[in-house]
Amino acid sequence: MISCHGLTYQQPPTIRMLKTTTAERPFAVQLFGAEPEIMAEAAAILNDYDLDIVDINMGCPVRKVIKKGAGAALMRNPKLAAEIIKQVVANSRRPVTVKFRSGWNHDEITAPEFARLAEASGASAVTVHARTWSDGFSGRADWRIIAMVAEAVNIPVIGNGDVKSSADVQAMLDETGCQAVMIGRAALGAPWVFQKDEFIPTLNSRRRALARHLELIALHLNPDQCLGRIKNHAGRYFKGQAGGSAIRQKIYACQTFNDLKALISS
C-alpha cells in the first residue's frame, strides 16, 4: 500500500516500495488516497514501473487514513469512490482492482452495491474483506457478504477474511462462489500457508524457512536496515510452537542482523 501523495512527490521511501523481483509476479501495487486528481496522477506515474495490477485501497480502517477520507471512509462516500476509480482506470495502462470491506458497520452492509459501483466505474476485479470498518480486525469474517458480492457483479471477486489453510481456501471458494482468495494474517511468519497440502511445521522447518527469509531480505535491503525490518516477522515464525516464546525472546534480544542469523542457524 502506498500513498498517492508519496508517489506524486517522488518520496524515496515510497519509490523504494515499488521494488520487486521476477519471482514476485503478478505484482500489484495498492494506492491509497482520497483526491481523484492525485490518485490519477499517481496511477499515471505507475505506468513507468514494471507491475501487473493497480489496486485501490477502500478498506483500511486506520484512523489517520479515515480522517483524510481515504481507505474504508470511501465506502461512505460512493460518489467520490466512483470518481477515484474512474480516474485511476482512465490513467492506468494496467488492470485496476479495488479492495474494500463488508461495509461501514453492521447497519451499513453496502459491499454488494459498492462492488457494482466499482464494476460500473471500470474495476477489473474486487477484493472483499468480510468485516466492517467497525469490526477492525476482530470477530469472525462473515463470508456470506462475499457470496452476496459474487452474486452482484460479473467481474472476478477475491474473498478475504480468516483464511488460514488450503482447506479454508476451498471452503471459501465453495461457500461464496468467489473466484480467488486472499490470505492476510495467516501468512505472517508462515509462508507455508500457501502450500496446497497441509503442512505441520516443526521447529526445524520453521528455522529453515526463517533462515531463507533472512537470506532474501539481505539480498534486497542494506545490512543496517535488515534487523529492524525482520525482527517482528522473525518472532512470528515460532508462534504456536512449543518452546517458541524462549526463541522469540532471544530474537528480540539480538543486537545485529548477524546475531540473528547465527541464532537461527545454531
Ligand X SMILES: Cc1cc2nc3c(=O)[nH]c(=O)nc-3n(C[C@H](O)[C@H](O)[C@H](O)COP(=O)(O)O)c2cc1C
Task: Determine, following the binding rule CB under 6 A, whether residue 185 of this chain makes contact with ligand X.
Answer: yes
Q: Beta 28-32 vs 96-103: how paired, if at all?
A: unpaired
Say if residues 51 and 28 touch (Cβ distance below 8 Å).
Answer: yes
**Chain position whose Cβ is nearest to ligand X:** 184
Cα 212 from chain centre: 22
- Region 90-129 residues binding ligand X, contact defined as CB under 6 A: 99, 129
Q: How far apart are CA 175 and CA 165, in angstroms?
A: 15
Stretch near ligand X under the rule CB under 6 A, chosen from 85-93, 159-167, 191-199, 236-244: 159-167
Q: What's 243's DSSP letter?
A: T
Q: How far apart are CA 204 and CA 192, in angstroms?
A: 13
Number of chain residues interacting with ligand X (CB under 6 A): 16
Task: Determine, following the binding rule CB under 6 A, whether residue 163 of this chain makes contact with ligand X.
Answer: yes
Q: Give the position of cell 545454531.
A: 266
- Region 190-229 residues binding ligand X, contact defined as CB under 6 A: none
Which lies closer to ligand X via its Cβ, residue 99 or residue 207? Answer: 99
Task: Determine, following the binding rule CB under 6 A, whether residue 235 of this chain makes contact with ligand X.
Answer: no
Stretch near ligand X under the rule CB under 6 A, chosen from 8-16, 109-117, 180-188, 220-228: 180-188
Q: How far apart are CA 114 and CA 109, in angstroms?
A: 10
Min dist CB 248 to ligand X, Å, is 17
**Residue from the set 4, 36, 54, 57 that interacts with ligand X by CB under 6 A:** 57
Q: How far apart are CA 245 and CA 141, in angstroms?
A: 28
Min dist CB 184 to ligand X, Å, is 3
3 state SS of 68: coil
Stretch near ligand X under the rule CB under 6 A, chosen from 36-44, 81-89, 154-162, 193-201: 154-162
60 catalytic residue (yes or no): yes
**CA proximity to 142, closest of 127, 126, 162:** 162
- State the residues that interact with ligand X by CB under 6 A: 1, 30, 57, 59, 99, 129, 137, 141, 160-163, 183-186
